Amino acid sequence: MSRRLARQTALQILFEIDVGKNEAETALTFRLSEVTLEPRDSDFVRRVVLGVGEHIKELDQIIDTFAKDWRTDRMSNVDRNILRFAIFEICFMKEIDVKISINEAVELAKKFSDSASPKFINGILGAVVASLGDVVNDKES
């Protein structure tokens, strides 16, 4: 459960940065002071938030490629940040199984977005993983 709480916390911070235009360090410091996480989970949150920030243009290009008829700037703020987060995990966090990244993204969508979002998120992430092919398979080895 602690990793799920860490993911929820990371999503909230990404949302605050995206919508509230807050600085990453400020949002991280505030949100992490409001929640009780194990040190490794706090490190996970920090890694995800800073990593998404560092790779945001690449992540948005990937999303735009696979979100048919949707641009990231027209998506719901929650869905956009769930996708950024999950694609960052898939592409840059080799220690996390791809299936876990997808499942957790779908669970976040069920909790924080509308009823159509889990299917939308799952479809985009499935297409991303399929397109990565050997890269993802090498990661799982």
User: Domains of the chain, with CATH numbers?
Assistant: 2-140 (1.10.940.10)
pLDDT for the residue 139: 46
Q: What percent of the chain has pLDDT over 70?
A: 94
pLDDT by residue (tens digit) across 19-35?
A: 998 899 999 999 999 99
User: For residue 106, which of 124, 132, 131, 127 has the smallest C-alpha distance?
Assistant: 124
What is the pLDDT at residue 140?
46
Residue 75 tokens read as: 């998506």
Contact (Cβ atoms closer than 8 angstroms) between residue 102 and residue 122: yes
Q: Give 2's pLDDT tier (boundaries 50, 70, 90).
A: confident
**Least-confidence region, from 68-72, 78-82, 114-118:** 68-72
Across all residues in the chain, what is the average pLDDT? 93
Taking Cα atoms as reference points, which of 110, 112, 139, 91 lies closest to residue 10? Answer: 112
The CA distance from 120 to 56, in Å, is 20
Distance CA 42, CA 111 (A): 21
Contact 113, 119 (CB under 8 A): no
Residue 95 has pLDDT above 80, yes or no: yes
> Which comes out higher in pLDDT, residue 135 or 31?
31
Confidence of residue 69 (pLDDT cuts 50, 70, 90): confident
* Mean pLDDT of the 75-80 span: 96
> Measured in whole angstroms, how far is the alpha carbon of residue 140 from the centre of its chain?
19
Distance in angstroms (rounded) separating the CA atoms of residues 112 and 84: 15
d(CA 16, CA 27): 7
